[in-house]
Amino acid sequence: MVRHFFVFLHRWAGLAMTLFLVIVGLTGSALAFREELDVWLNPEFLTVAKRDAPLLDPFALREKAASLYPDASFDDVQLHIEPDRSVEYIHMPRMDAGTDNMMEKMVEFYLDPYTGEKLGERNTWSGPSLERKNIISFLYRPHFALTLPWSWSTGSHSVGAYILGITALVWTIDCFVGFYLTLPRSRRLDSGDAPNSKFWWNRWRPAWRIKFNAGAYRINFDIHRAFGLWTWLMLFIFAWSSVGFNLNQVYTPMMRALFEFSDPAPGLPARAEPLDHPRLGWREAYATGHALLEEQARQHGFAIEKEKYLIFDRHHGVYFISAQGSQEGEKSYRTSVTFDADTGAMLQFAWPGNPFEKSGDVISHWLYWLHMAAVFGLTMQIFVCVMGLVITALSVTGVYIWWKKRRAQKFSKAHRGAVAAEAAAE
């Protein structure tokens, strides 16, 4: 009886999730190589030819960007500039009262790092456009928010993101239900029967295999069951991390109930009026932030590999500099210093692996890195790409199994009805 209930639950949960999982599976498979695909599709404004000439410094490039859009505030500087890549900036219109589609109006534009010349631009969140320059955005929007519009009234979130968050929560629960259904059923022995000679594992082993010489239904069933078992851990990681991305009001309380988290850093007090003219200019702020980063890295026994961004937060009157430390993943920039924009005094320092991090912090970071293929380089990208296809295969085979069973039940019911009618006629 219990097993029948879980079969029912697994069947209808799977059918309800199918469309959403196929969408995120296929788009996620492509997005594992989002940067590489984007460069391949749009080399004319994402790449530049290497030249025997000096690169402009990041602050000169920021000034070039600001001159192109004088109505915008460019409160960040990209510190790491590569000689064969353009430099990206984002122009966001000022937030006006009642504006409800800010994400739709954001524009990315790209500058030549040698000359500051504008190479091209595109909407950060493109609409339903299959222009070559918008293909990655076209893929990312359904993966992240089902292409549904954003709303500042919901905390700059999308209804689509909430739908995917609920789907991910159902998916997380269904991971355990599906795993339970692969386990061999318990065998009841009559008093006169000899004990079963097979070990429990021998009865579970077929669930891990695909019988390719069987019929279509059995092959689909084996693919559905075996793929789910072999990739179960990663399926769970994708499902639960998706809850964290899109349904944090469920993820955070659950994780805090299971694991210990470090106390969050105290929030910075907001200023009564934004600080538009800090005493530290951009270059002075960078010199201060760079020195603070190096000092903290020496004190805590690691090195700064790459500095990423310098950001000015005028609402709190601070600068924030982010970097990649020698102790973190290649696509992670979690080492940072926050300091006063007037005095240069350090206010906060954060780095991964610090002794104040608890188990919950570490697990959450790894869930994010694995989901985003931000660790282990090309190997992880390929694995995440394949997992997107596995998720799609599990969804499609699940629907096929349901459809075949439904047809069989209808046929059986019709046959019983015909037999009963024939008997009544006699």
Domains and CATH numbers, the chain: 41-77+85-141 (no CATH), 271-356 (3.10.450)
pLDDT at residue 396, as a whole number: 95
Distance CA 224, CA 211 (A): 12
Reading the block at residue 123, the tokens are 């909407």
Question: pTM for the complete prediction?
Answer: 0.84
Give one DSSP letter per residue of 246-309, joined into a string.
H-HHHHHHHHHHHS--PPPPPPPPPPSS--SS-SS-HHHHHHHHHHHHHHHHHHHT--EEEEEE
Rounded Cα distance between 266 and 221, Å, is: 52
Residue recorded with tokens 């122009």: 91
How many Cα atoms are found within 13 Å in the side-chain-facing hemisphere of 117? 8
State residue 153's pLDDT score.
44
Distance CA 135, CA 133 (A): 6
Q: Please report, for residues 95, 174, 234, 404, the alpha-carbon distance to residue 240 in angstroms, rounded to integers and kept in the order given.
A: 33, 11, 10, 30
| Token couple for 173 | 């629960």
DSSP class of residue 397 equals: H
Phi and psi, residue 120, nearest 5°: 170, 170
- Burial status of residue 419 (CB atoms within 10 A of its CB: 0-12, 13-18, 19 or more): exposed
Q: How far is CA 359 from CA 117, 250, 328, 354, in A?
A: 47, 18, 16, 12
Closest CA to 133 of 124, 142, 144: 124
CB 352 within 8 A of CB 330: no
Query: Which parts of the chain sit beneath pLDDT 70?
Result: 93-105, 126-129, 149-157, 187-198, 265, 328-333, 353-356, 411-426
Given the DSSP bridges, would you call strands 304-313 and 318-325 parallel, antiparallel or unpaired?
antiparallel
Alpha-carbon gap, residue 18 to 395, rounded angstroms = 5
Q: Identify the burial level of 47 via C-beta atoms within 10 angstroms of its C-beta, where 0-12 means exposed, 13-18 middle and 19 or more buried.
A: middle
Contact 308, 322 (CB under 8 A): yes
